Structure 1
Amino acid sequence: MSAFIEATKWPDDADPDDTTALLQCLIVDERTPSSAAAGQHMHRNGQFVVALSGLVGLRIGDREIAFPPSSAAWVPPGLFHEGFLGEGAASLYCLINPDWARMLPQHPYRLLLDPMTIEMLKRFTRYPVGFLLNSHEARLARVLFEELMGARQLPLSFVPLSSHPALKRIAEALVKNPGDSRRTREWADLCAMSERTLARLVVRETGLSFGAWRLRIIMLAATHHLLAGECVEEVAERIGYSSASAFTAAFRRVFGLTPGMLRRGEAGLLRDASL
């Protein structure tokens, strides 16, 4: 991984393999330099990886996957993986005891979270790990777990990334400047390859056409600006759309909801949303 995307660094006092608690949550917002990263690994606990801000994702096998705010990814116990963060990003990890994890799918998937569930997850970051089984915290943990179990499941991949240097270069440029209007031929020239070669490379590495892959990257960036409080018109201009209406139409095609719905926290409540 490049300096643009680096492995997560857990807090020094955190133990992702501590199975004494049925459920525990912590904020992970620091990164480990690539030279010091442990690489893909597994844990005894399952994990929900929640995107709070910035570029948050997972590496599983040869896949690198980023996912937007209001969504999370489930990593079952024993699955080799590595979390990563972009510059300035923040994530929340919810560790699930193996006994509870057996009630969830034994394969990774993505899920939509409603505002209440996200706030409950944040609240649990303030709770001590060793709460008693008959305590108020334990009762809330059971409610939170039921919300996570009942959340809408989506395919794991939203924005497939790639370890290929050319595609990493393009993805980094688009995340830093989502309004970059260069055409496929210009990106190909930048990467010293033909337009056809670049198109084939993107399909092979991500399963998407170049246009669809680029659109998902810039829409991922758009979600962060919207949730940071920018108005639709500002975000539309930032990512290169000539009008707010054109941006709104494209946003809805990708996510199944409007930018306004996202800002109001409705993503996790909509049947057709694909955020």
Structure 2
Amino acid sequence: MIDLSRETSFLCQFDPDQTNTPGIALHVDSERQAMELPFHQHRKGQLVIALHGVVTCRVPDGLWMVPPRSGVWIPGGVAHSNRVTRGGRLCFLFVEPGIIEMPSHSCTLSISPLLRELVLRLADIPVNDLPVKGATDNPIGRLVSVLLEELVHMPAERLHLPLPNDPRLIRISEALISAPDDRRTLKEWASGLAMSERTLARLIQRDTGLTFSRWRQQLHLIVAIRHLAEGMSVQRVSEEIGYQSVNAFISMFKKLLGATPARYVITPGDNRSLNE
């Protein structure tokens, strides 16, 4: 297990591409403070699994949230950064290209209890003991084979925020990420950019694939999950993202993710009381 607060430099220098083993896993703790690994890339694909707390993964054109029981898949060769909330625990799984059929784009995956335990078990095995590509005739090789077979079947989740490329839209996205309770309307944003509301609406749809209201709702969802995982109350979170009514916030959250805010962020096996 690695304490991220002390070993960030180790993680920045760790190179999973030095071996062609089908799968390598690392178990990471961030006990004292939130930490961020800067943009980097590697040949192997990477699965980031949140065990406790929330991990934020960023690629050039998107932002992904990794709450407990979920993971983000990042294909090999894609530049990305990872930010871990204070007290977060996570696992990194690196997968050799071509071993299994995985998405060619970054996405959030639901992680089954079985896959979670398999990755944790693999993280306990020293890198030097891992099998080379194609070797499955020993217990560790069979463990990796089962793990990869399970990984292929994990369903995608809706925890992605597409980030725009247009400089005018970047100004809007950066402002809303910094102040998610900003409730300026599309018309007000358009006025500030000296363009028509219709032109701005088309620009947002073209650059993100979403309407302005849907994009902002997705941003609220991602920010809410991060705050909830850090221990903020549902009432406070709803205020932080600009909701006048906590019931309206809970309704939005449940409609999009199928669970109330407090239930969604509970780590499997956690028996805390719910703060709804």
With normalisation by structure 1, the TM-score equals 0.71
The one-letter code matched in structure 2 to 1:172 is E
Q: Deviations over 1:12-49 (max 9, x none)?
A: 431131234332134595444xxxx67xx661x22224
* Aligned residue among 180, 183, 188 for 2:182: 180
Q: Distance in 2 between matches of 1:13 and 1:168?
A: 31
Q: Which runs of structure 2 are paired with 1:35-114 in the superposition (5 Å)?
A: 43=43, 45-50=44-49, 53=54, 55-59=56-60, 63-69=61-67, 70-77=69-76, 80-85=77-82, 93-98=92-97, 101-105=98-102, 107-108=104-105, 110=107, 111-114=109-112
Give the count of matched residue pairs. 244
Q: Mark the runs of 5 or more structure 2 residues left unpaired by the alignment.
A: 1-7, 30-34, 132-136, 269-276
Q: How big is the shift at 1:126?
A: 5.6
Distance change in 2, residues 1:149/1:114 (3 Å): same
Match of residue 4 from structure 1: none
Deviation of 1:143 after TM superposition, in Å, equals 4.8
Q: Would the aligned equivalents of 1:188 and 1:195 in 2 still touch at CA under 8 Å?
A: yes
SS state of the match for residue 237, structure 1?
A: helix
**Alpha-carbon contact 1:56-1:68 (below 8 Å) kept:** yes
1:162-184: CA deviation from partner (whole Å, max 9, x where unpaired)? 22222222222222222222222
2:196 to 172, 178, 194: 194
Superposition RMSD in Å: 3.5
Preserved contact between residue 36 and residue 81 of structure 2 (Cα < 8 Å): no
Report the Cα offset of residue 58 of structure 1. Answer: 2.4
Shift of 1:117: 4.4
Larger radius of gyration: 2
Q: Does 1:153 align with 2:150?
A: no
Once the two structures are TM-superposed, the CA of residue 259 in structure 1 deviates from its matched residue by 1.0
Contact 1:174 1:218 (8 Å CA) reproduced: no
Corresponding position: 1:228 with 2:235 = no
The alpha carbon displacement at 1:159 in A equals 1.2
Could you say what secondary structure the match of 2:183 adopts?
Answer: coil
Unaligned runs of 5+ in 1: 1-7, 267-275
Normalised TM-score (structure 2) = 0.71
Percent identity between the aligned chains?
Answer: 32
Query: Within 2, Cα distance between the matches of 1:88 and 1:213?
Result: 23
The one-letter code of the counterpart of 1:25 is A
- 2:252 aligns with one of 238, 250, 253: 250
Give the equivalent residue in structure 2 for 1:5. Answer: none
